[in-house]
Structure 1
Amino acid sequence: MKAFEFKPKLFTALKNYSKELFMADLMAGIIVGIVALPLAIAFGIASGVSPEKGIITAIIAGFIISMLGGSKVQIGGPTGAFIVIIYGIIQQYGEAGLIVATLMAGIILILLGIFKLGAVIKFIPYPIIVGFTSGIAVTIFTTQIADIFGLSFGGEKVPGDFVGKWMIYFQHFDTINWWNTIISIVSIVIIAITPKFSKKIPGSLIAIIVVTVAVYLMKTYAGINCIDTIGDRFSIKAELPDAVMPSLNWEAIQDLFPVAITIAVLGAIESLLSATVADGVIGDKHDSNTELIAQGAANLITPLFGGIPATGAIARTMANINNGGKTPVAGMIHAMVLLLILLFLMPLAQYIPMACLAGVLVIVSYNMSGWRTFKALLKNPKSDVTVLLITFFLTVIFDLTIAIEVGLVIACVLFMHRVMETTEISVIKDEINLNEESASKEEEENLSIPKGVEVYEINGPYFFGIATKFEEIMSRLGDRPKVRIIRMRKVPFIDSTGIHNLTNLCQMAQREKTTIVLSGVNEKVHKALEKSGFYELLGEKNICPNINVALERSKELLNE
């Protein structure tokens, strides 16, 4: 087994670094830093923390992911996918609980990378990814309804669950503030039409600047003071906080462990998906295990400074590529740009209207929803549609932790069901046709099966599902031949349940005076059976290399 190697792309990129590459990375880094600013603020507030914590996450996690990551162009930071999880953790455990959960997720991600499980993450079924991504999009949209319509709840606490939120929204819809609604609609329209005029400057930034200036003028000169801004709800600190180690206790670790796994799995999926998309555009190949370790390191260090969970961000990674980013240096520059903005321009963020940020997040949720993909998947086989819908509704109605756990279980069950369907068990009583088999020229085309002998052919893996199926076929036949030959030439592997089943079958056959003969067992299956002690029960003479030898052995047994 090949030893694990930690190879950040930055180290290989710097070997042949040049002034031209630096200038390309510098321009890309500045633009991506500007693109990331409104998103970091919006994600921070939507997650239930102060706006600067979203930027702190983008700075620290973005720098670490680029410095240690396995992708040349990956941009890391807070993403919309984590909003729902973070908000739920803060509601239940507070910000201290969020720090503990993020630290644990960081450790899990590092272990996933060390044990080379990066490739395994990619095998999570696509319907599950689409299901919970679309579910998160719906949930993010739901959390923004109050700010879009400027609803006031008279001190009543907004529930954390989807159904509870909509119930309280409908109860207080008579408190709608039309100025907020107009601000949100204008922001959405600006973001939607910006790509038609500018590919470089993000629509979210233009919307924030235009709408913030307009609202400031309205408040100052028109006396319209009913539009909430960030400054009305948060006190912004334009500084990097000191690192603080949270107090850890075993009870909190136990309670938060399932949530930490969800953060780690979601972070791994999103970062590796982003890196894979980037590979397709730039023609490179990322190191998935190195990337996971970088993601883990980012989530281990960022929460110490008050940050939130981070991962690779597809939109910002694509912005990096489209603006000429060539190496991880671009991602590190993006983090430095955000640091300068935090230190010198952050006080201006207090004038940004909450309704404008809600508009930004409506666009984010729309892009995340992938409704065209969702619609296309509904035409797939029923099993895929089942996984998709269950994951989606569990994400929306309950939470992402339950959705991922249940979705993976269902996907595994359906996978095993499909394997069972592909594994065939046939019973042959008269003769075996060798025309389609690789038999030698000396062999006849057909082999006759002596009376009192039955041949069972297993085509496919012999695992716990098939073991039961095999027993059902034999009990349905109900006869008791003197010899049962089990052809296993097309069995690639056998699990412990399959071995247990064969052992029971052999013991039952001995009680019925029937002898089991195995034919064509491959080396891998042979080793598994030998190690389990199965051959001691069966006897070496009853293990045959091919069907010809097995039939000769059955004739000997019939004559005994």
Structure 2
Amino acid sequence: MLVALPASIAFGVTIYAAIAPSYAAIGALAGIIGATVIGLVASTLGGTDRLISAPCAPAAAVLSAFAIELVGQGIDPNTIVLLLVLLGVLAGIVQLLLGFIGVGRLIKYIPYPVVSGYLSGVGLIIIGSQIPKFVGAAVGTRWWEALLAPWSWDWRALAIGTATVIVAVAAPKITKKVPGTILGIVAGLLTYFALAIQEPKLWEITGNPLVIGPLGAARDGYFAAITERWHDIGDLHLSQIASLFGSALTLAALLSIDTLKTCVVIDQLTRTQHDSNRELVAQGIANISSAAVGGTPGAGTMGASLVNLNSGAQTRVSGVMEGVLSLIAALIFGSFLAWLPVATLAGILIVIGIRMLDREPLRFIESRATVFDFAVVLAVVVVALTIGLIAASAVGVAMAIILFVREQIGGSVVRHKVYANQMSSTWYRPEAEMRIIEQKGNQAVIFELQGSLFFGTTQQLYSELEPELGKRNYVILDLKRVQSVDVTAAHLLHNVRQTLQERGAMLLFSGVREKLPNGRNLREFLEQTGVVNASDDSVVRVFPELDAAIEWVEDHILGEVQAPAETETPIELQEMDLFSHRKDETLKDLETRMEQRTYRAGETIYAQGAAGDEIFWIRRGTVRIFAPLGAGRSRHIASFSRGDFFGGLAFLDNRPRGNDAVALTETEVYVLSREQFDLLAEEHKKLAFSLITAIARTLAIRLRHADTELTMLQEY
């Protein structure tokens, strides 16, 4: 309360003094009411522990600028007061709607340069508005006019404001027990009364330009004034009310950003998680309530919240108590508040404004990579100072879009580009077939895409694809990591399809998801835009995974199509590459040592952790190997078909299985246990040696191939 209440009074004075100096006391009262009502309502309904809500700098900047504009138009002061009240109510309604429709989560993602420019712009506006009051210049003097005319300064106001600023800035370095704001106000008051000793006129409160003056907060007069205001609001023209919506949107956005920024900081310090939408609803209701009873709008304030946190606050009750104590302080010290020097409040706001200036973006100038970000900050600040916060909000949104597009364009949408002879499928093929794929695998190129495919990245993507379209028979585009695709990118893909079709080449898609992060069904979208034709796969094919697409290409490069499992005939030992040059008698002895087994489709042949004393040769069917990933998940890492063997590593080192083997189709296998192999080795040492050598050689080829692929992947 000691931090929030003085600042709230200062903000209220800033807003209403812009109408006329005589309205400063009304502003002080509006600040007190705002600190009380917002503190009570926002903390009661909000979901963020330790958050202190009160009138704030963004509200003061927007509302004082609004009041100055109306004064310039010659609007009656009483009408300006009514419009300020209505503007606060409308801003609260906008916040309420933003919370209900779930925009709270989005406001947090406004880029840092835009928020930084916003806050720095508000800080400079606050400083500029207080300079004339700080130096005691005549009413209506602009800050640059005041600075260029030192002969117009009131040295008494300057002395009071200077004492306030010096103590407010220096006090935190000496003690943390009393807020610097309070000590600064005390310093200003002491300076004022020291001057009053030498100038008796300063002991008079009425007509004294150096102090706020009587608040006029008598109970009957206050309620009568509020009732009269709402009666007069009913007489406003519809056009006057409609003209407020632009300012209401700007004010609501600033208050929401200020609140949620403070909530994020509290979350980081306390390791908690706030509910953005609930907080916006609470802040909206609080601002409606505050404006309805003559208070100024506000938001969750950083300074008071951090003081609250450091003082040991744990729950929302601390925010409620801030509102209660603000009311008690106003009732007890109401007459004393009338003696607050205007220059003291100006000094406090100047200190707050300086602290709002974000100096971090100055480091952006040091690097070419961040110069544009600094330009965004500078643009928002300049527009806020020269045109207004409404225009600055529009510039901020436009800059946010530009920042997004720039980041998307800056990163490559092609994550990985390889050829089929550099990245094979998980299907383990015979050595002869692997040589063919190594020789002819460059007929197929694989592009792993990432990020957003949209108008900003289309040209970049085409420049990567174009050199390959006239050379390759197969172009695979893996969309697994793609976040979104727009119509421009779909048009590009359609052109790629047509280019390949003219050459008789094929376009293959993999990882086409039915639900992207933006909710779009990617496969359906590609069909609607003509990229994919569900009834014709002669030019474009879609595969669920990249491995399936590579496997399909390998089959076509080899000029074969895998025979269905039902028509496969079991292969004999002598037909397998590993045993093709062995004597029939030797193979008969080996076969007698082997066990023949049959597994149904989907049946587990062995599981991770099982004893590893058997090796398997596939006579018929297909087996897939899965590596467990934890939490019940697994990944397909290899496939074996007729004539291949699997389970060799565990057979050699006799350690537990490291993965799962599952029959994809009905599968027949030869099984040789380590015990039977040892018996065979006693009778046929040459066969046993040749068998181990052949197994080790095949495993070495597989391992060498896997190492090559891993090395390539590490380059990306």
Interval of TM-score (by shorter of Structure 1 and Structure 2): 0.7 to 0.9
- After the TM superposition, which residues 92-491 of structure 1 pair with which residues of structure 2 at under 5 Å, given as runs? 92-93=69-70, 94-152=80-138, 157-158=140-141, 165-170=142-147, 172-216=149-193, 218-219=195-196, 222-223=199-200, 225=202, 228-231=209-212, 235-239=215-219, 241=223, 242=226, 245=230, 246-247=233-234, 251-252=239-240, 254-371=242-359, 373-379=360-366, 381-425=370-414, 431-435=419-423, 439-442=426-429, 444=434, 446=438, 448=440, 458-471=449-462, 485=475, 487-491=477-481
| Mapped pair 1:549 → 2:590 | no
Q: 2:525, 2:63 → 1: CA distance?
A: 46
Preserved contact between residue 506 and residue 516 of structure 1 (Cα < 8 Å): no
Partner AA of 1:530 in structure 2: E
Shift in Å, 1:521? 4.1
**Which has the larger displacement, 61-70 or 330-339?**
330-339
Structure 1 pair 511/342, CA: closer, same or farther in 2 (3 Å)?
Answer: same
For residue 138 of structure 1, report the CA deviation from its aligned partner.
1.9
Please tell me whether residue 67 in structure 1 is matched to residue 64 in structure 2: no
Query: Which position in structure 1 is the counterpart of 2:508?
Result: 518
Which of structures 1 and 2 has the larger relative contact order (alpha carbons within 8 angstroms, sep 6+)? 1
Deviations 1:232-252 (A, max 9, x none): 5x7542556446654476544
Residue 194 and residue 494 in structure 1: after superposition, are their counterparts in 2 closer, same or farther (change >3 A)? closer
Q: What percent of counterpart residues are identical?
A: 24
TM-score by length of 2: 0.63
CA deviation after TM superposition for structure 1 residue 431, in Å: 4.8
**Partner AA of 2:325 in structure 1:** V
Name the SS for the 1:493 alignment partner: strand
Q: By how many angstroms is 1:504 displaced? A: 5.2
Question: CA 1:494–1:552 in structure 2 vs 1: closer, same or farther (change >3 Å)?
Answer: farther
Between 63-72 and 283-292, the greater mean CA deviation after superposition: 283-292
Rounded to whole Å, the distance in 2 between the matches of 1:450 and 1:183 is 81
Residues 187 and 360, structure 1, Cα contact 8 Å, conserved in 2: yes
Alignment CA distance shift 1:433-1:330 (3 Å) = same
Q: Residue 101 of structure 1: CA displacement?
A: 3.1
CA deviation after TM superposition for structure 1 residue 97, in Å: 3.1
How far apart in 2 are the matches of 1:267 and 1:200? 29
| Aligned partners of 1:180 and 1:227 also within 8 Å | no
Q: Which runs of 5+ in 2 are unaligned?
A: 18-26, 71-79, 515-521, 544-548, 560-716
Deviates more, 1:529-538 or 1:83-92: 529-538
SS where residue 318 of structure 1 aligns? helix
Alignment partners' CA distance in 2, 1:398 and 1:144: 19
Once the two structures are superposed, what CA deviation does each residue of 1:212-233 show, in whole Å capped at 9, x if it has no partner?
Answer: 354246336533659733345x
Q: Please say if residues 71 and 328 of structure 1, whose CA atoms lie closer than 8 Å, have aligned partners that are also in contact.
A: yes
- 2:103 is aligned with what amino acid? L
Residue 534 to residue 188, structure 1, CA distance change in 2 (3 Å): same
Contact 1:236 1:350 in 2 (8 A): no
User: Which stretches in structure 1 are left out of the alignment for 5+ residues?
Assistant: 1-32, 159-164
* Code of the aligned partner of 2:335: P
SS in structure 2 of the partner of residue 47 of structure 1: helix
Shift of 1:258: 2.9
Rounded to whole Å, the distance in 2 between the matches of 1:238 and 1:462 is 65
1:85 and 2:76 correspond? no
C-alpha separation in 1, matches of 2:556 and 2:331 = 85
Counterpart CA distance in 1 for 2:394 and 2:439 is 51
Give the 3-state SS of the residue equivalent to 1:461 in structure 2. Answer: strand
CA RMSD of aligned residues (A): 3.5
Q: Of the two, which has the highest radius of gyration?
A: 2
Question: Are the counterparts in 2 of residues 151 and 176 from structure 1 also a CA contact under 8 Å?
Answer: yes
- Structure 1 position 263, deviation (Å): 1.8
User: 2: distance between equivalents of 1:115 and 1:553?
Assistant: 53
More divergent stretch after superposition (390-399 vs 82-91): 390-399
Quote the residue 2:586 is aligned against.
none
* Letter in structure 2 aligned against 1:316: A
Q: Decide whether the 8 Å contact of 2:5 with 2:326 is kept in 1.
A: yes
> What's the CA shift for 1:470?
4.0
Q: Secondary structure at the match of 2:329?
A: helix
Contact 1:109 1:296 in 2 (8 A): yes
**C-alpha contact 2:32 2:326 (8 A) present in aligned 1:** yes
Distance in 2 separating the partners of 1:549 and 1:180: 84
Give me the whole-angstrom Cα distance separating, in 1, the residues matched to 2:452 and 2:286.
41
Q: CA separation in 1, counterparts of 2:350 and 2:317?
A: 31
Q: Please tell me the residue identity of whatever aligns with 1:466.
A: T
Q: Select the structure that is richer in strand.
A: 2
Tell me if structure 2 keeps the 8 A contact 1:133–1:368: yes
8 Å CA contact 1:41–1:55 kept in 2: the answer is yes
The Cα of 1:87 is off from its aligned counterpart by: 0.9
CA shift in 2, pair 1:460/1:271, >3 Å: closer
Q: State the alpha-carbon separation in 2 of the partners of residues 503 and 275 from structure 1.
A: 44
Change (3 A) 1:454 1:42: same
Amino acid at match of 1:522: V
Distance 1:479 1:522 in 2: 21
310-319 vs 457-466, which deviates more?
457-466
Q: 1:189 to 1:500 in 2, by over 3 A?
A: same
Offset of residue 462 of structure 1: 1.6
Deviation at residue 479 of structure 1 after TM alignment: 7.9
Cα shift at 1:130: 1.9
Q: Is the 8 A contact 2:34 2:298 kept in 1?
A: yes
- For 1:332 and 1:427, the matched residues in 2 are separated by 56
Please give the per-residue CA displacement for 1:141-197, whole angstroms capped at 9, x wherever unaligned.
1111111211126xxx44xxxxxx344325543211212111111111222233345
Instruction: Name the CA shift for 1:484/1:425 in 2 (closer, same or farther; >3 Å).
Output: farther
Cα 1:433–1:141 change in 2 (3 A) is farther
Aligned to 2:4: 36
Checking the alignment, whether the CA contact within 8 Å between 1:423 and 1:461 is kept in structure 2 is: no
User: CA offset at residue 506 of structure 1?
Assistant: 6.3
CA deviations 1:18-54 (Å, max 9, x no partner) are: xxxxxxxxxxxxxxx2332211111111223511101
SS at match of 1:138: helix
Q: Deviations over 1:64-83 (max 9, x none)?
A: 11101111111101112322
Q: Which of 484, 497, 501 is the equivalent residue of 2:487?
A: 497
Is the 8 Å Cα contact of residues 59 and 297 (structure 2) preserved in structure 1? Answer: yes
Q: Secondary structure of the equivalent of 1:434? A: coil
Q: Which moved more, 1:304-313 or 1:222-231?
A: 222-231
CA contact (8 A) 2:420 2:442 kept: no
Counterpart code for 2:487 = T
Structure 1 counterpart of 2:654: none
